[in-house]
Structure 1
Amino acid sequence: MGGTSNDLGARQPHVPAGVRGGRLLRRLRVGIVGCGWVSRHRHVPAYRRSGVAEIAAVYDRKSERAEALAKYAHARSYSRELDEMLSKERLDVVSVCTPPWLHASQTILALEAGANVLVEKPMAMSEADCRAMCNAAERSGRQLCVSHNFLFSRAVAEASRRVDSGRAGRVESVIGFQMSTPRRRLPDWYESLPGQLFFDEAPHLTYLSRRFLGPREPQVVHAESLVADVAAVQRTQNVVAILRGNAGIGVLTMTFNASRAEWGFGIVGSEESYLIDLFRDQLVVLGHGGAHTPGEVLSQTIGGIAQIIAGSVKSGALYAARHQLYGHGELVEHFVNAVVAGAPVPVPAEEGRRTIAVLESICKASGLTAFVPST
């Protein structure tokens, strides 16, 4: 990993050359790989908000998409070979936002070119690919971080603080609830994944379950899927999985041909429980109860409504200011600060690998397979 000199940029390869003695001498140069929706509406705004990074270059095989994002981000565009951007731009950081089957190869290329990498979820298509990415990061001495963004959303972060402080008591179970629909805005490649929307969206509920069921890695004890006619747009209609954690049980239920899209997550504790509306970034804290007297029911109802109103006001203000990034802003801020300081990244690659291992187990148990394009 290099020497011990205080001249961090010169002696430690995981610290950018624009850093000396722990001080940032220039903004980090960022490259975006894949110029779709998540790049424009999540990664670019998050890097801008960090205050220590600038978008220097963007790459997409579709030249029109690369040029559009380059214009928006005031960056240079590349559309021939990724190597061209990596060799010419001397990037400190690369965000990989392409279809999941490209994550492993493009992440490894960026690491070998000397960049630190933030890769979108799912980290890769298999645990084996994740291991190859982890090994590449180790060889290069660069940082590899996975975009498990909801861990840093306002509601989940507050639930985490309460659980870690002991206010929840013992976590008895977690419940992940997902309604999705092919009528919402979707990537044009999702049909090639195991379970189509499942493999693209299920990482969120999976890493949240791992976060609160730990410290032992949860085991998939049962999984089922219901698949419709092969001609359906979203063939996988339902997936249900049961996870066994250290001392609790996780239940994930996902429906992909629902009337609308809604994602929720519940944490059931012995002292406090939490209901999280992931789409609206709202948390409802449930304290003690059980008498079911009229007064208790009324008090709990009023308390729940008050929490929802307060959460709506906060989220509404963020929406109005276009700052509602569902944790991406905080994740990117922690990531670039880790790159500058040579500190651990907020979501290490090993966390991404473990999440993919759980997803692979669910796919195997429920019979989900994929057709993955060769390019």
Structure 2
Amino acid sequence: MLKIGVIGCGYASKNYHFPVIEAIDEVELAWVADVDADSARTIGSKYGVEWYTDPETAVEATPDVVHVNTPPFTHADLTVSALRAGAHVLVEKPMAMTEGECESMISVAEETGQKLSVVHNNLFFDPMEEVLDDVYAGEYGTIHSVRSFIGGAPNPDDIPGKDRSWVDESHGGPIGDRLPHPTYLVTHFFDDVSDPCVNVDLTDDGTLMGASVQVADGDRFGSIHVTERALPGKSIIITGSEKMAVVDLFNYSAVTYDTLDRSPFSMVLDNFGAAGQLTKGTVENAIDYARDVTSEGSKYPAPGHYNLIRRFVASIESDTPVPIDPSEGVKVVRVLDQIDRQARAQSETGQRAADEPSQLLHTATAPQIVL
């Protein structure tokens, strides 16, 4: 049985990591660490494990795995310490603050022979996994377009256990804890995101309210959109030469379309097919939820984390590739850095949004792409 140490006893750990660790038979919680002694003591007492206020001391206890669930600007140092102590590491999103930090984390993982993966949990929601399985199997043909969206204001600061004081020091400020989600949903499909086109929406005081990012690789286009001004929602649309999927991660559903004939009759059939898929998915979700919450070890408090952590554990036990290669984390940080740079550039000129294509932050060779 793998022993897991968790650094950070905040909202993500309490609501996602600890419940999943408790639900998986192959692992057990070894210790917890947090710079806030009250938080560490409370969680340690709850689960009956050792607790620490110094992560460096904690990793010396040499668990098999360490989860790094702390503010992003602490990820690199904590991850490197855990890897050098002989632990495999699962680090929350975003992987780090800079590409250089990410590369150093990867270098130490390779040097020590330990596994390193990143929590891109929305890729592991059941409906998303089903679509991705079909994409990998070639059922979608050539992927030409991937579009993600997340809308609505961040979780309020007064949620019990939800300390968001750290976000001002992270990518994107107040919406920084959500920016990685729509980003990795798109960058997962791209090998190269070195030349993104970025536009941002700022308040008069320079607070980031939204961002739009376009990337391109040959005949594949990607579009990332996040805004506090829209209704709450989280979705991704994947369009291939043979099939298209609309995945609603907010409502845990997916609808696929594979009719190439766009006649009125075919479109009517598509609508009936979509209705049938939504009905079937809704019923299955309700049944699975009812069955799962009445059994020991429910995955529903954190379905994406549950599937991802199980796969990370399996990769350690069988010495197979990790569920999210750390290179995926590098791509996300690259895009987040460009969003920050564009926000700073517009804030310095007093702009709320770029008015002309030339004002978008991108290299001279990067195309202006509108999807």
TM interval, shorter chain, is 0.7 to 0.9
* Pair 1:309 & 2:279 matched: yes
CA drift of 1:47 comes to: 2.3
- The question of whether the paired residues in 2 share the 8 Å contact of 1:95 and 1:117 is answered with yes
What is the count of residue pairs matched by the alignment?
335
- Which of these residues, 16, 21, 28, is aligned with residue 54 of structure 1? 28
| TM-score between the two structures when normalised by the length of structure 2 | 0.83
CA drift of 1:265 comes to: 0.4
- Which of these residues, 7, 10, 18, is aligned with residue 36 of structure 1? 10
Report the secondary structure of 1:181's partner residue.
Answer: coil
* Counterpart for residue 330 of structure 1: 307
CA drift of 1:123 comes to: 0.3
One-letter code aligned to 1:136? V
Distance 1:340-1:165 versus aligned 2 partners, 3 A rule? closer
* Counterpart for residue 266 of structure 1: 237
Measure the CA separation in 2 of the matches of 1:145 and 1:369. Answer: 34
**RMSD over aligned Cα, in angstroms?**
2.3
CA drift of 1:323 comes to: 2.0
Measure the CA separation in 1 of the matches of 2:196 and 2:86. Answer: 41
CA drift of 1:225 comes to: 0.6
CA drift of 1:361 comes to: 3.0
Report the secondary structure of 2:154's partner residue.
Answer: coil
Distance 1:69-1:217 versus aligned 2 partners, 3 A rule? same
* Counterpart for residue 227 of structure 1: 202
CA drift of 1:187 comes to: 4.4
Measure the CA separation in 1 of the matches of 2:263 and 2:43. Answer: 55
Report the secondary structure of 1:57's partner residue.
Answer: strand
Measure the CA separation in 2 of the matches of 1:92 and 1:144. Answer: 12
CA drift of 1:149 comes to: 1.5
One-letter code aligned to 1:309? T
Give deviations 1:320-341, integer Å, cap 9, x for gaps: 4242223211211121122223
- The question of whether the paired residues in 1 share the 8 Å contact of 2:202 and 2:343 is answered with no
* Pair 1:130 & 2:105 matched: no
- Which of these residues, 101, 119, 138, is aligned with residue 166 of structure 1? 138
- In percent, how many aligned pairs have the same letter? 29
- The question of whether the paired residues in 1 share the 8 Å contact of 2:120 and 2:184 is answered with yes
Measure the CA separation in 1 of the matches of 2:308 and 2:27. Answer: 14
Measure the CA separation in 1 of the matches of 2:2 and 2:184. Answer: 28
- The question of whether the paired residues in 1 share the 8 Å contact of 2:6 and 2:32 is answered with yes
Q: Which runs of 5+ in 2 are unaligned?
A: 348-371
| TM-score between the two structures when normalised by the length of structure 1 | 0.82
* Counterpart for residue 151 of structure 1: 123
1:219-368 mapped onto 2 (5 Å cutoff): 219-230=194-205, 235-258=207-230, 260-289=231-260, 291-293=262-264, 295-320=265-290, 321=293, 322-324=298-300, 325-367=302-344
CA drift of 1:56 comes to: 1.1
Q: Which stretch shows the higher mean deviation, 352-361 or 263-272?
A: 352-361
Distance 1:75-1:317 versus aligned 2 partners, 3 A rule? farther
* Counterpart for residue 21 of structure 1: none
